Structure 1
């Protein structure tokens, strides 16, 4: 206990720096999204050199869409974080379904307690390595410099060991899933001659797309694998070589150091005897002692000297054996610490492509309602901050020395149409257009193919027969466009009104200066026509 106190008192600076660094890395891992959001906002608001400050010193032109490019840049940066919380109302159930299908429903990531334990194990390993390496680090350096360098190298070796054991544990967990896939495929899929390869690109949002697939296929759709879907042991081999190298190397260094110390002790004893033989005072003391002692016969003196030499050799051998056993125990302890690290990596890791993401959205909530309330709170917070940054940007731009009256009017009057909520509405419109474009293209291809085949049919029949084209059911995009093609702006021609919420309609009405009641009526008409088309 006293040695531990002396050690902590001597190297508390190094220990403090190391623990602080590990806590900093842990905080980055846990709150990475918040850190990114903070860095982004700091980049905009930093005094003098921040983007807001530079925007106030630059000239800007109003774009053709009615937005200043710098305003869209602000909205775009905030939108990148806003998207992380724009999940569907059933996202909680999707996350649960994803984890269940990938066989990782009951797993969890490492908590603060386990991370504290890992940091403690790293310190323990570093202490052991530092004691081994310190005597051999930079022979010409001072004792403190040798210790500092030994600690640095020991920390690097320990952190590398933790990293490799974590990778090995994850590899073992992934291999266990791959073995399950092959086992289930042998039972279910091989007899049906099904290929052992992913059939779909499954994400959390598309997790219901393979509900009808076999179990091995559901897992394979979510776990990355090689072409043959076989376990790999690359990280395991590297980790085993690294652990064996450190364990055996530490034992050999300690053993050779012990042999050197024993040899040095023997040499010191011989040098002491030679020095005593040449010292007159030592000879007088030995003669005085010999006069007081009873002189032994030569044979008995030889036996006594042999017994004393044997006792010293046995004591030295016993100390050496005990030390080597201790070194073996220390190496075994080091290996067991690595085994614990591998187990942590195996038990607290995920192999699914989006399993970590799914777990993060479900671990702190008991129901979908709780998750949705939290998502709405985060979206409102980001939106309010985006609006505040837009307002600060316009204030900076309006204070420029050279600004025309048209620009001043655009900044003051048009700002009500250039809000973050309007930007969100525009992004929703773009998503709708992108989602509906493949459907229209597909239907047009079908129509063109049927029309191309019509002359062949007409040449056989005496009267032309109307061709029935199998188009997508309901075709809501075309219905919405036909219903209001004469009144809706061109930007909304391909928008499916039936899929927009009341909030989306309100934003669109404000953005395009439309009557909200009329827009709701158009949505209702589109829904009615869609239902009638479906029933037919």
Structure 2
């Protein structure tokens, strides 16, 4: 197997391994498959318990799957969704990993050819090991540089066109009403209703920016043309060099082996061999021209393939990704869900398979004849949600009592205790994580009276919103 073939096979193995690793660590179903096949049995021996009575195996399983369960609150979801809508990024997604892998394979395959060409030029007397090192180094440089340039060019092209379309809309609107193109910067942590009074194009540039450029597009075009032209020229010169060396060797061997050649003592006179030599020259010229045309056609096809590959990489940057400055963070918060109803449905669909894994883990506990307190995955979600709420809103510090004064202090006016901001939503998230109606009722009853009243009011308001939404949907 040649060096290039070995390198390509190794590349496929690396890419396949990267896809498997990505699937296991970044997709729910990949992680689920990995647990069912290997990891569930591996962690079943971790039966040491923490202070709260949870085993290390339960915490490991719950922690591995918790990141796939949508846990954002309703206000955060709506705010992030509004940001994506106003930034013009609603419906867009990050660059898929499979597409990154495909583009990477194409660029690496092209890089192998370029590196072989450049390696033989840089070190013409080098050994096979030298060529291998040069090829690896050049492939890495070409892939990283080309990948970054083309992706940046596609992203810049999308963002600049987005700003350009917004400017055209603003100019058409501004003819009737004098408005600023951009009023102020709007970040994701701000309420997205802050600029509801502005026109849509102004809301967009408040999140995307109002300055579009084509710098990276020009850099990408120059890079593509330079590599395509120079690589074709180098291939053509290498072909000419090889043809010249072959021609010289053929002529020399023919003169030596021909007993009637000009260099032979018994050689025929020039008047006799002139016509034959002329015919040989014409034939050699025809063969050379045909080989040159064939080589040029092949090199042009390679250049066209290279250009098309880079255009695909630029299109990937244009088609996927976001224009808003904080749209990636907003998309990460919403996890690509279209509505809050979908969030709740997916949450339920994801929880049930993990509950089955937790049941299987407890079954393995029983095989060891150990009496352990078992927990469900829903209980783990409720536990971590309450812990997050406690971390975000710690209890107020206890202020030491002041020394008694000589004059009696006036009686304090009683103030109703209010739940800290955000605590209500945290309790709602914990309730959503519980699937059993009895567990939810016990959870609400375990709260203090003031918090319980707020929770009940919030649940009633949610039911009213859902009922109103269904009525509106039925009208159209």
Q: Shared fold (TM-score greater than 0.5)?
A: yes
**3-state SS of paired residue (1:222):** helix
In structure 2, the partner of 1:129 is 114
State the 1:23 CA deviation. Answer: 3.6
Counterpart selection for 1:235 from 216, 223, 243: 216
**3-state SS of paired residue (2:207):** coil
In structure 2, the partner of 1:463 is none
The alignment status of 1:370 with 2:342, answered yes or no, reads yes
For structure 1, the 5+ residue unaligned runs are 1-5, 390-411, 413-417, 438-478, 486-491, 528-536
Q: Which structure has the larger Rg over C-alpha atoms? A: 1
Once residues 325 and 493 of structure 1 are traced to their aligned partners in structure 2, the CA distance between those partners, rounded to angstroms, is: 76
In structure 1, the partner of 2:13 is 20
Counterpart selection for 2:231 from 246, 250, 255: 250
Q: Is the 8 A contact 2:80 2:334 kept in 1?
A: yes
Change (3 A) 1:15 1:83: closer
Counterpart selection for 1:354 from 318, 327, 334: 327
In structure 1, the partner of 2:139 is 155
Deviation string for 1:482-535 (max 9, x for gaps)? 34x5xxxxxx7757998765959955864x8x5x7x8746978999xxxxxxxx
State the 1:172 CA deviation. Answer: 0.7
State the 1:33 CA deviation. Answer: 4.4
Counterpart selection for 1:344 from 316, 323, 327: 316
Counterpart selection for 1:192 from 170, 178, 184: 178
In structure 1, the partner of 2:281 is 309
The alignment status of 1:165 with 2:150, answered yes or no, reads yes
The alignment status of 1:265 with 2:198, answered yes or no, reads no
Q: Is the 8 A contact 2:166 2:205 kept in 1?
A: yes
Q: Is the 8 A contact 1:95 1:359 kept in 2?
A: no
For structure 2, the 5+ residue unaligned runs are 36-40, 362-372, 374-378, 397-412, 432-439, 460-476
Once residues 213 and 423 of structure 1 are traced to their aligned partners in structure 2, the CA distance between those partners, rounded to angstroms, is: 40
Q: Is the 8 A contact 1:276 1:283 kept in 2?
A: no
RMSD: 5.7
Counterpart selection for 2:188 from 176, 187, 202: 202
Q: Is the 8 A contact 2:66 2:381 kept in 1?
A: no
State the 1:230 CA deviation. Answer: 1.8
In structure 2, the partner of 1:328 is 300
> So what's the TM-score if we normalise by structure 1?
0.57
Between Structure 1 and Structure 2, how many residues are aligned?
Answer: 414
Change (3 A) 1:170 1:423: closer
Change (3 A) 1:345 1:262: same
State the 1:141 CA deviation. Answer: 0.8
Q: Is the 8 A contact 1:171 1:233 kept in 2?
A: yes
Change (3 A) 1:220 1:525: closer
Change (3 A) 1:159 1:496: closer
Counterpart selection for 1:139 from 103, 125, 141: 125
Q: Is the 8 A contact 2:228 2:303 kept in 1?
A: yes
The alignment status of 1:221 with 2:202, answered yes or no, reads no
Once residues 106 and 199 of structure 2 are traced to their aligned partners in structure 1, the CA distance between those partners, rounded to angstroms, is: 43
Once residues 73 and 354 of structure 2 are traced to their aligned partners in structure 1, the CA distance between those partners, rounded to angstroms, is: 18
Once residues 116 and 523 of structure 1 are traced to their aligned partners in structure 2, the CA distance between those partners, rounded to angstroms, is: 47
Once residues 457 and 162 of structure 2 are traced to their aligned partners in structure 1, the CA distance between those partners, rounded to angstroms, is: 51
Once residues 304 and 498 of structure 1 are traced to their aligned partners in structure 2, the CA distance between those partners, rounded to angstroms, is: 101
In structure 1, the partner of 2:415 is 482
The alignment status of 1:428 with 2:400, answered yes or no, reads no
Deviation string for 1:7-62 (max 9, x for gaps)? 7xx75542232123234445566665459999xx9xxx999xxxx89x99xxx9x9
Deviation string for 1:81-104 (max 9, x for gaps)? 569722235777666544433323
Change (3 A) 1:208 1:327: same
In structure 1, the partner of 2:408 is none
